[in-house]
Amino acid sequence: MMLVTMYMSLTSGAFDIKVMDIIRTLLRMDSQPDQDLVIFEFRLPRIIIAMLVGMGLAIAGAVIQSITRNGLADPGILGINSGAGAAMVIFLFFYQGQSKGDEWTSILAMPLFGLIGGLLAAFLIYLFSWKNGKLESQRLLLTGIAIASGLGAVSLYLTLKMNPNDFEMAVVWNSGSIYNANWKYIISILPWFVLLVPVIVSKSYILDLFQLDEDSVISVGVASQKEKAVLLLSSIGIVSACVSVSGGIGFIGLMAPHIAKYLVGNAHRRIIPVCGVVGALLVMISDYISKTVFAPAELPVGIVTAIIGVPYFIFLLYRKKGRS
């Protein structure tokens, strides 16, 4: 399925390319300058960014759902996306316009600003969701929605203060878009994946234990709060890196873990890799839809994921209500 989506993304667009021409270009056999430009500068970076962002958001969503024991939780709904997004808008507002001669510095600094915003959002969520010495799932969800709304208002206020060109870019970016993907963005977020994804994978068995009650987790010798902090920080780092290059793409971290559990069961050593593949596929398909269905106009990919994700969220909400 992923190979089919990659094939469709590479061959389709304003400039259609035959599959044999793509193979010749990739293998450097009789390549043409216009095909090199379209494939290597536009389509291939966009596909790779879609894969990485989808994988990152999905894995982070699986971790957050396990930590909170709440199947409705994801980085977007909990406000982590909004925290990272608000920090990125602040960065764009105060710094980006002055960094024309130092583009690499600004690109590499973007995930760090996103991390700060994500950490701030997570701190506020934890602060207001903690009651009687434990984290309450319902309070967590409501607090996350409230903080996401507040940080969204901050982002909107700053975008309204930008000049028209920057305003348009910020609005599209906040909606979730990867149309301006490039190799520099890929290089800027790869270290975060290389460092943090193995941490999460290595703690898959702890994510399984978190499905038990808090006393049972502690009784088997797990430092519950320490492990939660490590996993949450790893997830925030990945989400912040994703938001720094794609803006606010929502609902991937909600949908992908449920699909992965349906496919492979509840063991996180299987859920995490499958979740990453499902998330990558969801963003790739959404991006293909966003650039082809309304061509020559192009929708931000975040709007497409929201169109898919909102009904799915309502379905999960009613299913959970029916079980309670």
Instruction: Compute the mean pLDDT over every residue in the chain, rounded to the nearest whole number.
Output: 83
3-state secondary structure of 13: coil
* pLDDT in the model for residue 213: 79
Structural contact between residues 184 and 107, judged by C-beta atoms closer than 8 angstroms: yes
Output the pLDDT for position 320: 66
**Which has the higher per-residue pLDDT, 170 or 60?**
60
**Alpha-carbon distance 45 to 113, whole Å?**
23
Residue 137: band (very low, low, confident or very high) from pLDDT cuts 50, 70, 90: low
| Residue 301 structure tokens | 């990919």
Q: Which residue has the higher pLDDT, 146 or 167?
A: 146
Superfamily of domain 2-323 in CATH is ABC transporter involved in vitamin B12 uptake, BtuC (1.10.3470.10)
* Distance of alpha carbon 173 from alpha carbon 220, whole angstroms: 45
Q: Is the pLDDT at 71 greater than 60, yes or no?
A: yes
pLDDT in tens, 16-70: 778 787 888 877 777 778 878 888 888 899 999 999 999 999 999 999 999 888 8
- In angstroms, the CA 311 to CA 251 distance is 10
Indicate the DSSP class of residue 29.
S
8, 1 contact by CB (below 8 A): no
Burial 262-280 (b: 16+ CB within 10 A, else e): eebeeebeebbbbbbbbbb
Name the pLDDT band for 102 (thresholds 50, 70, 90): low
**Cα separation of 120 and 299, whole Å?**
30
Burial (CB count <10 Å: 0-12, 13-18, 19+), residue 26: middle
Distance CA 303, CA 285 (A): 13
- Collapsing DSSP to helix, strand or coil, 206 comes out as helix
**Mean pLDDT value across residues 106-126:** 80
Contact call for residues 129 and 136 (beta carbons, < 8 A): yes
Q: How far apart are CA 82 and CA 275, in angstroms?
A: 22
- Judge whether residue 89 has pLDDT over 90: no
DSSP helix/strand/coil, 16 = coil
